[in-house]
Amino acid sequence: MTEDKYWHRLLIHFYNRNYFRNGLTLPFIIGSRTIIEPDKELQSISELLEEAKKSNVYLSVLKCDYIGELVFSISSLTDFDIYGGFENIVDIDGDFKEKINFTQFCELLENEYSDTIKKSMYSRNSLGKWEYFTDEIDLPRLKELN
């Protein structure tokens, strides 16, 4: 079931608690599994997005002005009809419309974020630097999902 997926629980929980402005970065989402499901392996970006697609979950993507990165959140068919996109990806900013398909989108994101994830740098701070989850904010919030 979709509700059991760590990434779905994370996005819903953080949204319901107003823990983010526009969404979460892929490194944050993927890295959260080390806290939420510490006995499981990290997913690749492609695995995560493919799992969301197979689960019929719409994900919105947009560039967050605050951290300067792409962020994702749970979306809907209604949003898809308004903003457009491809497959289950709602392209809020219109940056990817008609330019790329789902596979190319996954490859683009893998190229952008895979090294960051491999270095366990999951959280983007306001100074524009990637770091591990913060002790003060990120970790306590993630532990709420245990």
How confident is the model over 85-109, as pLDDT tens digits?
A: 989 999 999 988 767 889 999 999 9
- Give the 3-state DSSP-derived string for the chain, with helices as H, strands as E and coil as C: CHHHCHHHHHHHHHHHCCCCCCCECHHHHHHCHHHHCCCCCCCCHHHHHHHHHHCCCCEEEEEECCCCEEEEEECCHHHHHHHCEECCEEECCCCCCCCCCHHHHHHHHHHHHHHHHHCCCCEECCCCCEECCCCCCHHHHHHCCC
pLDDT of 111: 96
pTM (two decimals): 0.95
Q: Where are the domains of the chain?
A: 2-143
